[in-house]
Amino acid sequence: MIPYKTAAALVPSLAPLQATQAEVFDRIASDVVLSSSLWANVALAGFSILLFVAMGRSLQSERAKLIWVATLLVPLVSIASYVGLVSGLTVGVLTMPPGHPLAGQEVLQPWGRYLTWTLSTPMILLALGLLAGTDRAKLFTAVTMDVGMCVTGLAAALVTSSYLLRWVFFVISCAFFVAVLYVLLVEWPADAQAAGTSEIFGTLRNLTVVLWLGYPILWALGVEGFALLDVGVTSWGYSALDILAKYVFAFLLLRWVAANERSVGGADPLGGTTTMADD
Ligand code: RET
């Protein structure tokens, strides 16, 4: 049992973590830059859901339908994620450790972002992998490395005991990211070539790689890292990247799949490079 005096001494440092949802909600609502960065995504995710449902309704083949559902899940996860942030449910108040530029200060930490990336980014990779006609082993590799990246990124954002260990988690997360980039840049282009989808795959792969590289850069420049950007600007940075990496990406992918269903229509969705034309 913690002696009474020790427990009492802990209270001041625990207090910020116990900020109520209502307090966090009010702090978000009173910061126009921060709250607009969240509401913009709630609105766009809602619009994307309706649009994507309409775009995929007439798809017939199993692989095309799987790409569609994976793509549709991106704004579905996103709307839940952003409502969680706006409500204060998935936003904490953290006291930064010594060494951090904001050491000792309480900062808002929208940690729900990292948690929900764990669900949305695998859907993006699943859709891209299916488009490239890849196999289960490569898809499994990309998805598990990606989940590792998101979970250790969450840890990097939440560690308050040591500034150094925040960066250790950051480096671990980057190592997972390198594995994802390897699959995207080396493995899948060859698969897409064999599947006859290399042109659209190349476009979406480039969009993905460039935008995804923006996330760790923003982490390093934002409140989580060197704190060169404030909470609202950091949040708009992530929201802007999300808009391009999720809704624009998904729209381009679905538009292509709807117009070229025969090119992605293999009987077994993960069975390599068979296309409808081979049947
Ligand atoms: C973090 C910080 C630690 C190092 C790395 C990161 C990468 C994050 C990425 C996120 C992509 C998110 C997307 C979300 C769409 O829903 C966690 C920021 C490498 C690449 C595309």
Instruction: Report pLDDT for 20.
Output: 86
Instruction: Report pLDDT for 69.
Output: 97
pLDDT in tens, 13-59: 444 455 688 999 999 999 999 999 999 999 999 999 999 999 999 89
In the CATH hierarchy, which fold is given to the domain comprising 19-264? Rhopdopsin 7-helix transmembrane proteins (1.20.1070)
Cβ–Cβ under 8 Å, residues 116 and 80: yes
Instruction: Report pLDDT for 262.
Output: 83
pLDDT in tens, 236-268: 999 999 999 999 999 999 999 999 988 876 556
pLDDT in tens, 61-90: 999 999 999 999 999 999 999 999 999 999
- Burial degree of 149 (CB within 10 A; 0-12, 13-18, 19+): buried
Instruction: Report pLDDT for 9.
Output: 47
- Give the rounded percent of residues in the chain with a pLDDT score beyond 70: 88
Instruction: Please give the average per-residue pLDDT across 110-135, as a whole number.
Output: 96
pLDDT band at 270 (very low <50, low <70, confident <90, very high): low
Q: Which residues surround ligand 1 with Cβ inside 6 Å?
A: 114, 117, 120-121, 149, 153, 156, 170, 173-174, 177, 212, 215-216, 219, 242, 245-246
- Whether residue 147 has pLDDT greater than 50: yes
Q: What rounded mean pLDDT belongs to the chain?
A: 90
Q: Where are the domains of the chain?
A: 19-264
Instruction: Ligand 1 pocket test: pick from 41, 81, 117 the residue with the most ligand atoms within 8 Å of its Cβ.
Output: 117
The tokens for 37 are 């960065």
State if pTM tops 0.95. no
Cβ–Cβ under 8 Å, residues 276 and 265: yes
Cβ–Cβ under 8 Å, residues 143 and 181: no
